[in-house]
Amino acid sequence: MKVAVMGYGTIGSGVVEVLEVNKDLITARAGEPLEVKYILDLRDFPGDPYEDRIVHDYRTILQDKEVGVVVEAMGGVEPAYTFVKAMLEAGKHVTTSNKNLVAAKGAELIKIARERNINFMFEASVGGGIPIIRPLNTCLSAERIDEITGILNGTTNYMLTRMANEGVSFDSVLKDAQAKGYAEADPTADIEGYDPCRKIAILTSLVCGKQVDYEDIYTEGITKITAEDFAYAKAMDCSIKLLASSKRAGESFRCMVAPFMLSKNHPLCGVNDVFNAVFVKGNMLGDAMFYGSGAGKLQTASAVVADIVDMTKHAHVNIRIEWEPENMELVDYTESTNRFFVRTTSPIDAVETAFGVASGDMPGVVEYIEGVVAGEIGFTTSAMTEADFAKAAEQISVVNRVRLG
């Protein structure tokens, strides 16, 4: 099998490295040798062992009938979409690590591959090296999946872990994460939650078999989380994690990306540093967890190479992926029910006038957390809709609020 790699950055060079380091076992598993024939990049790489394979025009790959599998590791929607679509239409299998491309164009690219009896795979686009796409599409194909909740972003999980352990501020931990190369120079997609938003949109699309638009998912990042919030979390024996969540609600789903305060016995609370984890609940299986390296050069490249092997083994067979272009209308997030932790400078009687006191079926304040930050109090609420919470919260002076997991 002749392979072309588009994009010779972190992931693309990782793919070449994995193919080289594990050459013998990969050949045995694929049933034939896998040879990198081209590497597409704008740059030249003088002195690189693969220097002679570098090309600058994607049409060189497109027009070479020998190339059977193409790896897309360029990132972004364009020109990745144009190149990938052309490769599929030319009958070449494609695997990508690019969640932006998959979230935006997944249904269409899957359809093109199916019509041509080839494959479009994207194991590395969610959870990096953690197997999650193939398990959902294959191992769990007998399940009705009722919930997926994950820590799907390594950068923010690293930052939140540092804030929890060291009590440091968001700004200082972001600077440090950038210096260490964990956070990108422009960290917006991570810290604003756009990256996990695309990932949960992909997972939900696979679960429901329809297109879930990431623009429809309510998304909050971690930029408003402070060292004081973590002081409260500590007092409550909790930590704060950025969760991407999708829960079945009748024929639809409630999806959300937001920071959540998790008690120490929550299965996702112990997922620290750059690790990711995905919790899945099936109606027959019950609970399952997938845990591991959600990012990283070789970890992500390993998942890409596994797709290459699978596509080589299924060179003339389309492995069906149920994800149609028809749109899935999500439940409006204001109807989602959550419990909340709130910090306020308002007095207790004002809090209780706004929220009430929880008792029996009556929603309201559950407990107060005092003495953590001077001049304010913290309190938790029972479960209430986002709309009801917003209505009550506007009657008091809120310093910050974090949902409770």
Binding site for ligand HSE (CB under 6 A): 128, 153-155, 190, 195, 294-295
Q: Give the separation between CA 141 and CA 134, rounded to whole angstroms.
A: 10
Contact indicator for 16, 50 with CB cutoff of 8 Å? yes
Which residue's C-beta sits nearest to ligand HSE? 155
C-beta closer to ligand HSE: residue 30 or 189: 189
Strand partners, 262: 239
Identify whether the C-beta of residue 134 lies closer than 8 Å to the C-beta of residue 123.
Answer: yes
Torsion angle, alpha carbons of 16, 22, 26, 28, to 10: 140
Alpha helices in 192-345 (DSSP H): 194-208, 227-235, 297-313
Of the pair 75, 135, the CB lying nearest ligand HSE is at 75
In the complex, minimum distance from the CB of residue 151 to ligand HSE, in angstroms, rounded to a whole number: 9
Instruction: Kindly state the smallest distance separating residue 202's Cβ from ligand HSE, in Å.
Output: 11
Identified catalytic residue from 2, 99, 105, 199: 199
Q: How far apart are CA 227 and CA 168, in angstroms?
A: 6
**Nearer Cβ to ligand HSE (7/378):** 7
Q: Decide if 288 contacts 2 (C-beta within 8 A).
A: no
Q: How far is the CB of 170 from ligand HSE (least distance, A)?
A: 16
Nearer CB in complex with ligand HSE: 113/126 = 126
Phi-psi region of 95 (alpha: psi -120 to 50; beta: other; left: phi over 0): beta
Q: Rounded CA gap, 78 and 196, in Å?
A: 20
Given the complex with ligand HSE, which of 128 and 193 has the nearer CB atom? 128
Report CA-CA distances (Å) from 197 to 214, 217, 221, 343.
6, 7, 10, 26
Q: State in angstroms the smallest separation of the CB of 155 from ligand HSE.
A: 3
CB 97 within 8 A of CB 125: yes
Torsion angle (degrees, nearest 10) of CA 31, 307, 298, 33: 20
- Give the side-chain half-sphere CA count within 13 A for 54: 16
CB of 244 to ligand HSE, least distance (A): 11
Q: Which two tokens stand for residue 43?
A: 């740059």
Provide CB contacts within 8 A for 168, sequence distance 6+.
Answer: 162, 227
Between 174 and 373, name the residue whose CB sits nearer to ligand HSE: 174
Q: With beta carbons less than 8 A apart as the criterion, state whether 309 and 29 touch.
A: yes
Cβ pair 107, 323 in contact under 8 A: yes
- What minimum distance in Å lies between the beta carbon of 219 and ligand HSE? 15
Annotated catalytic residue 23: no
- Tell me how far, at minimum, the Cβ of 150 lies from ligand HSE, in Å: 11
Nearer to ligand HSE, 128 or 259 (CB): 128
Catalytic positions are 199
